[in-house]
Amino acid sequence: MRQSNLFMPTLKETPADAVAKSHQIMLRGGYIRQVTAGVYAYLPLAYRVLRKAEGIIEQEMDKIGCTEVLMPHLLPATLWEESGRLSKYGAEMFRLNDRHGRPSLLGPTHEETFTEIIAKNLKSYKQMPIMLYQTQTKFRDENRPRFGLLRGREFVMHDGYSFAASREQLDAQFDAQKAAYENIFARCGVEVRPVIADSGTMGGKNSTEFQAPAAAGEDTIATNETGTYAANLEMAVSIDTFKQEPEDPKALEKVATPGQETIAQLAEFMHVPATRIVKSVLYIVDEKDKVLVLIRGDKEVNEVKLTHALDCDSLRVANDDELKAITGAAKGGVGPIKAAWADKIIADETVKGLSNFVVGANETGFQYANTNLDRDFKVDEFADLRTANEGEPDPVDHLPLKFITSIEVGHIFKLGTYYTETMGAKFLDQNGKAQPVIMGSYGIGVSRMLSAIVEQHQTEHGVAWPKEVAPYSIHLVQMKMNDDAQTDLANKLYDELSKKYDVLYDDRKERAGVKFADADLVGAPIRITIGKKAKDGIVEVKQPTEDKAQEMSVDELKAYAT
């Protein structure tokens, strides 16, 4: 590609509203442009990276026998009614009516769509195991779309679904997907930690998140010092907390005067190291599990927030009088109080996924519960939490834990039979008996991954793209367009190298400074500068992570490029 033909609308200044480094670089480099909040146009550079990442995914899925399909974006609400997720999914779902008034939606994920196809088209155990995937635009009306492609309302997801006739088949599919994901991330140049995760609204139990450590991440993962244990914050704190039984049941009442505790006092009260409380949430619920008070542990202060429902829209900061009224009511008026210890970071006003684990106190003393899967949680689901994590190392054996900010780039689930049972996807087993199909689901945020790559590979003035996803693998930069020796050599190299590589040739009549600044933003793994010594067949070669270029003859260059 000749750069004179490339649409790359660079910006000299960093846009004021872009906070994340990756967002800034992608805007400055003319990779993306926002169309509306959380909705982006992929310009040529970003689209090339996206397509390369999709290509890698396709190859790795081929290897494990997972085949590509394409499902519709526009879905009937009835499909989601069947699974019971229509109301559960909440405000994040884009809903619309068609001209006949039929409720419809834009797919935020596709468990239902795939399950329905299987329900109608699969009959026998002989047809399994099956794995299918697609790479497709998803729609989620996120409360706070931000950081460019990191949290969009429209984004590209690779989502895969596995169907099995036995647990063993599911386990094998899950392991194959996990291994494929590790290859995908490695080839895309994303450093990831597979972590034990909670399954959110997916309705499954066993799940692993792929978390990419990066400053712009909205998640926090906990690892031990040697890196042999890693979990997202929900699971790490969940498992950890129940080990720390407060000695004095009455102490819980102390929590009913929020705002007065410092982090250190809270830590002492909870019998956990203070770091554990940082960025965590303590909240008090009434007997109906309605959240009354939230205390958010921040670095030094407790931010006190108040809400009347588990509905994020109603969350706000309480004033002193309100707090007094509520804590007073909680203490006296509304019956047994449960002081709940939740462990999810509340990123600003977002409360989604708030309560995962509860330490509760009532007249009979302390009780524990896992509220992950059911809001109508039962107090003795405590045991459930333990089975969900069977086989995983116990974090208590791995203290002290380190906390790392990271980006969730992928998430894989053993769903079991939740969808297939509710939606009637059955097969006949070897004995001719009808059984529900056993399912898994697997997702990578492909567009989000672009941002994660830039986060992890940013340079002082741009980005150093990993080889396999770079928009161009070689950037040929000609210094002076009116120098015949330079033009001859550039054209010769361009023709030759283009046979094997994606070459971008900067043939623009621009100053050297402009060309180099743009080259930093293109971030090709190899930059070849054709300057004064072109007449002697000498060029300068540099990788984006190197400070200095090295001179090479054209022959040396050919050896170097391979």
Q: Give me the phi and psi of 287, to 5 degrees please.
A: -65, -25
Long-range contacts for 318-324 (Cβ within 8 Å, ≥24 apart)?
Answer: 318/293, 320/259, 323/258, 323/259, 323/293
Query: Which residue type occupies 2?
Result: R
Tell me if 140 contacts ligand ATP by CB under 6 A.
Answer: yes
Q: Please identify, using beta-carbon distances, which residue of 200 and 424 lies nearer to ligand ATP.
A: 200
Q: Please identify, using beta-carbon distances, which residue of 110 and 527 lies nearer to ligand ATP.
A: 110
Total residues at interface with Mg ion (CB under 5 A): 2
Number of H helices, E strands in the chain: 17, 28
What are the residue ranges of helices labelled H in 215-362?
A: 233-241, 251-254, 263-270, 274-277, 320-328
DSSP lists the bridge partners of residue 357 as: 370
At 478, which helix (H) or strand (E)?
Answer: strand 474-478
CA 295 to the chain's CA centroid: 26
Q: Give me the phi and psi of 554, to 5 degrees please.
A: -60, -35
Per DSSP, the three-state class of 416 is strand
Judged by CB under 6 A, the stretch of 126-134, 326-334, 393-401, 408-416 that binds ligand ATP is: 408-416
Q: Which one of residues 24, 109, 113, 211 is an interface residue with ligand ATP (CB under 6 A)? A: 109
Judged by CB under 6 A, the stretch of 52-60, 79-87, 328-336, 443-451 that binds ligand ATP is: 443-451
Q: Please identify, using beta-carbon distances, which residue of 447 and 478 lies nearer to ligand ATP.
A: 447
Smallest separation (angstroms) from ligand ATP to the CB of 200: 6
Q: Which does 471 bind (CB under 5 to 8 A by kind): ligand ATP, Mg ion, none?
A: none
Q: Which of 169, 71, 2, 1 is closest to 508 using CA atoms?
A: 2
The CA distance from 435 to 163, in Å, is 12
Tell me if 85 contacts Mg ion by CB under 5 A.
Answer: no
CA angle centred on 57, ends 56 and 62, rounded to 5°: 100
Smallest separation (angstroms) from ligand ATP to the CB of 230: 15
Give me 245's structure tokens: 């039984």
Q: Which does 217 bind (CB under 5 to 8 A by kind): Mg ion, ligand ATP, none?
A: none
Omega before residue 194 within 30° of 0, cis: no
Residue nearest to ligand ATP (CB): 445
Going through 248-393 in order, the beta strands assigned E by DSSP cover: 281-285, 291-297, 302-306, 316-317, 338-342, 357-362, 365-370
Site string for ligand ATP, 67-86 (x = CB under 6 A): --------------------
- Dmax (CA) for the chain in angstroms is 90
Name the burial class of residue 499, with classes exposed (0-12), middle (13-18) and buried (19+) by CB atoms within 10 angstroms of its CB.
exposed
Smallest separation (angstroms) from ligand ATP to the CB of 169: 23
Tell me if 143 contacts ligand ATP by CB under 6 A.
Answer: no
Q: Which does 23 bind (CB under 5 to 8 A by kind): ligand ATP, Mg ion, none?
A: none
Tell me if 151 contacts Mg ion by CB under 5 A.
Answer: no
Q: Which does 151 bind (CB under 5 to 8 A by kind): Mg ion, ligand ATP, none?
A: ligand ATP
Q: Please identify, using beta-carbon distances, which residue of 142 and 518 lies nearer to ligand ATP.
A: 142
Q: Which residues contact 120 (CB under 8 A, 6 or more apart)?
A: none
Residue nearest to Mg ion (CB): 411
Name the burial class of residue 387, with classes exposed (0-12), middle (13-18) and buried (19+) by CB atoms within 10 angstroms of its CB.
exposed
Q: Which one of residues 29, 443, 466, 523 is an interface residue with ligand ATP (CB under 6 A)? A: 443
R_g over Cα of the chain: 27
Name the burial class of residue 72, with classes exposed (0-12), middle (13-18) and buried (19+) by CB atoms within 10 angstroms of its CB.
exposed
Q: Which one of residues 21, 110, 151, 187 is an interface residue with ligand ATP (CB under 6 A)? A: 151
Judged by CB under 6 A, the stretch of 19-27, 409-417, 488-496, 549-557 that binds ligand ATP is: 409-417
Q: Please identify, using beta-carbon distances, which residue of 151 and 398 lies nearer to ligand ATP.
A: 151
Site string for ligand ATP, 33-72 (x = CB under 6 A): ----------------------------------------
**Residue 288 near residue 362 (C-beta atoms within 8 A):** no
Q: Which residues contact 123 (CB under 8 A, 6 or more apart)?
A: 427, 428
Judged by CB under 6 A, the stretch of 11-19, 302-310, 386-394, 403-411 that binds ligand ATP is: 403-411
Q: Which does 410 bind (CB under 5 to 8 A by kind): ligand ATP, Mg ion, none?
A: ligand ATP
Q: Which one of residues 408, 506, 518, 520 is an interface residue with ligand ATP (CB under 6 A)? A: 408
Give me 207's structure tokens: 């799940």
Tell me if 409 contacts ligand ATP by CB under 6 A.
Answer: yes
Q: Please identify, using beta-carbon distances, which residue of 305 and 448 lies nearer to ligand ATP.
A: 448
Residue that the structure tokens 């067949």 belong to: 537
Q: Which of 404, 472, 14, 461 is closest to 219 using CA atoms?
A: 404
The CA distance from 370 to 343, in Å, is 11
Q: Which one of residues 20, 157, 294, 497 is an interface residue with ligand ATP (CB under 6 A)? A: 157
CA angle centred on 402, ends 195 and 268, rounded to 5°: 115
Judged by CB under 6 A, the stretch of 119-127, 147-155, 275-283, 387-395 that binds ligand ATP is: 147-155
Tell me if 142 contacts ligand ATP by CB under 6 A.
Answer: yes
Q: Which does 443 bind (CB under 5 to 8 A by kind): ligand ATP, Mg ion, none?
A: ligand ATP
Site string for Mg ion, 393-412 (x = CB under 5 A): ---------------x--x-
Judged by CB under 6 A, the stretch of 65-73, 160-168, 440-448, 522-530 that binds ligand ATP is: 440-448
Q: Please identify, using beta-carbon distances, which residue of 82 and 234 lies nearer to ligand ATP.
A: 234
Tell me if 203 contacts ligand ATP by CB under 6 A.
Answer: no
Residues in region 448-467 near ligand ATP by CB under 6 A = 448
Residues of this chain that bind Mg ion (CB under 5 A): 408, 411
Residues of this chain that bind ligand ATP (CB under 6 A): 109, 140, 142, 151-152, 155, 157, 200, 408-411, 443, 445, 447-448
